[in-house]
Structure 1
Amino acid sequence: MRSISDIAEALRANAEAVCRHYLSEGRKVGNYWTVGNVLNERGASLHVRLQGPLSGPNARGKWTDEATGEYGDLLDLIRHQSGHEDIRAAADEARTFLSLPQTVSARSSSSVCATNTDAGDEWRPSSVMSARKIFRASRPIRGTLAETYLASRSIHASSESALRFHPALYYRENGVHGQCPALIGKISDKDGTFTGINRIWLRRDGKGLAAIENPKKCLGHLRGNGVYFGRSKELLIAGEGMETILSLKTVRPDVAMVAALTANHLAAINLPAGLKHLVIARDNDVAGLNAAGQLTERALMEGIQCNTIVSRCDDFNTDLTTYGPCYLKERLSSILVSQDG
Structure 2
Amino acid sequence: MQSPAGQIADALAHNAEAVCRHYLSKGHKEGRYWLVGDVHNTPGRSLYVRLSASPDGRGAAGKWTDAQNGDHGDLLDIIAIAKGCRTMRETLDEARRFLSMPMPPPTENRPVTRSKAPTGTPEAARRLHAVSKPVAGSLVRTYLATRKITDLSGCEALRFHPNCWYRASDEDDAQVRPAWPAMIAAVTDLDGSVTGVHRTWLRLDGSDKAPVAYPRRAMGNLLGHGVRFGQSGRVMMAGEGIETMLSLRQVMAAMPAIAGLSAAHLAAILFPAMLRRLYVARDDDPAGVGALKTLTGRAIKAGIEVVPLESRLGDFNDDLRAFGRERLAAELRAQLRAEDAGHFLMQG
* Band the TM-score falls in, shorter-chain normalisation: 0.5 to 0.7
Question: Quick one: distance in 1 between partners of 2:331 and 2:192?
Answer: 29
Deviation at 1:337, TM superposition (A): 2.7
Alignment of 1:171-186 (within 5 A): 171-174=166-169, 178-186=178-186
Greater helix proportion: 1
Q: Matched residues, percent identical?
A: 42
Letter in 2 for 1:139: K
**Contact map agreement 1:183 1:201 (CA 8 A) in 2:** yes
Structure 1 residue 311: Cα displacement: 1.4
Deviations 1:44-72 (A, max 9, x none): xxxxxxxxxxxxxxxxxxxxxxxxxxxxx
Q: How many angstroms apart in 1 are the aligned matches of 2:339 and 2:305? A: 8
Cα offset for 1:221? 0.7
Q: Match of 1:132, as an amino acid?
A: R
Cα shift at 1:338:
4.2
- State how far apart, in whole Å, the 1-side matches of 2:276 and 2:232 are: 9
1:174 Cα shift? 2.4
Alignment map for 1:117-196 (pairs within 5 Å): 127-159=121-153, 160-174=155-169, 178-196=178-196
Task: Tell me what 1:321 maps to.
Answer: 321
Encode CA deviations 1:314-341: one digit per residue, 9 max, x unaligned.
1110111111111212233333334759
Structure 1: 5+ residue runs without aligned partners?
1-100, 114-122
Listed one character per residue, the Cα deviations across residues 162-205 of structure 1 (whole Å, up to 9, x for unaligned) are 10010010001127561100001010012322111100000111
Point out 4+ residue stretches in structure 1 off by more than 4 angstroms: 338-341
What's the secondary structure of 2:133's corresponding residue? coil
Provide the rounded CA distance (Å) in 1 between the counterparts of 2:338 and 2:297: 19
Aligned to 2:15: none
Name the SS for the 1:173 alignment partner: coil
3-state DSSP of counterpart to 1:236: strand
Question: Is the 2:266–2:291 contact (alpha carbons within 8 Å) kept by the matching residues of 1?
Answer: yes
For residue 235 of structure 1, report the CA deviation from its aligned partner.
0.8
Q: Is 1:312 the counterpart of 2:312 in the alignment? A: yes
Q: Tell me the distance in 2 between the aligned counterparts of 1:251 and 1:224.
A: 26
Asked if residue 103 in structure 1 is aligned to residue 98 in structure 2, the reply is no
Amino acid at match of 1:136: A
- The equivalences for 1:8-23 within 5 A come to none
- SS of 2:197's partner is strand
Aligned residues: 226
Could you tell me whether the CA contact under 8 Å between 2:168 and 2:178 is conserved in 1? no
What amino acid sits opposite 1:192 in the alignment? Answer: G
Query: TM-score scaled to structure 2, two decimals?
Result: 0.61
Pairwise CA RMSD of aligned residues?
2.1
SS at match of 1:172: coil
| Secondary structure at the counterpart of residue 182 of structure 2 | strand
